């Protein structure tokens, strides 16, 4: 009988020790609504695919949206200040056109191993994707992939050439 009581007591302690206490969930941080702001006095307007007002692809071939590459320093995936206004313009376009999708291709120069360059290209593409999302683009509009060193713009082994290969390219629906 004594052994039976000891077993029951041990089981009760074990079951009681497995209980968890739940803490109340904390509220999220407040979000500031910045709204869409025009670039250089031009407002970003939604485009249609029916020919009225042009297609989305026509819209990104003109003005600030025509530039679709972001360049990086050696061994870095930090977006430089000089490209932030360009990224903001593309984010505003994506917010105004929720059906448009973007493919971000991360690239690296030829230095480093193939595996390293693929990882660096992915980090670059993900950094741009994150910035676009922070500026209002939806995650389902964006896809980030790495091409590593496989799609160079320049094939010479010089710093000027390598700097052209360290980039993200932004392609819109219909271009990929």
pLDDT digits (tens, 9 = 90+) for 125-159: 999 999 999 999 999 999 999 999 999 999 999 99
Q: Order of strands, edge to edge, in the sheet holding 142-148?
A: 69-71, 167-172, 102-107, 142-148
pLDDT averaged over every residue in the chain: 82
- Of how many residues is the chain composed? 176
Cα→Cα distances 103→26, 38, 95, 160, 175, Å: 35, 24, 15, 26, 9
The per-residue pLDDT for 64 is 81
CATH 3.10.129.10 fits 68-176, yes or no: no
The percent of residues in the chain predicted with pLDDT above 70, rounded, is 68
The yes-or-no verdict on residue 24 having pLDDT over 50 is yes
Q: Are 146 and 125 in contact (CB under 8 A)?
A: yes
pLDDT in tens, 92-133: 999 999 999 999 999 999 999 999 999 999 999 999 999 999
The yes-or-no verdict on residue 34 having pLDDT over 60 is no
b/e sequence 9-37, b meaning 16+ C-beta within 10 Å: eeeeeeeeeeeeeeeeeeeeeeeeeeebe
The yes-or-no verdict on residue 23 having pLDDT over 60 is no
């Amino acid at each position: 009988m004594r052994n039976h009581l000891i077993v029951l007591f041990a089981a009760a302690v074990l079951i009681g020790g497995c209980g968890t206490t739940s803490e109340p969930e904390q509220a999220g941080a407040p979000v500031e609504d910045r709204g869409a702001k025009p670039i250089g006095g031009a407002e970003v307007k939604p485009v249609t695919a029916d020919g009225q007002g042009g297609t989305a692809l026509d819209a990104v071939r003109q003005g600030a949206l025509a530039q679709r590459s972001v360049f990086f320093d050696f061994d870095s995936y930090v977006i430089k200040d000089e490209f932030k206004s360009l990224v903001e313009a593309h984010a505003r376009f994506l917010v105004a056109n929720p059906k448009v999708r973007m493919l971000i291709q991360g690239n690296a120069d030829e230095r480093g191993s193939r595996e390293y360059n693929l990882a660096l290209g992915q980090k670059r593409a993900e950094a741009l994707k994150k910035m676009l999302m922070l500026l209002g683009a939806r995650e389902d509009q964006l896809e980030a992939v790495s091409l590593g060193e496989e799609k160079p713009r320049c094939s010479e082994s010089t710093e000027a050439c390598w700097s052209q290969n360290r980039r993200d390219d932004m392609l819109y629906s219909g271009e990929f």
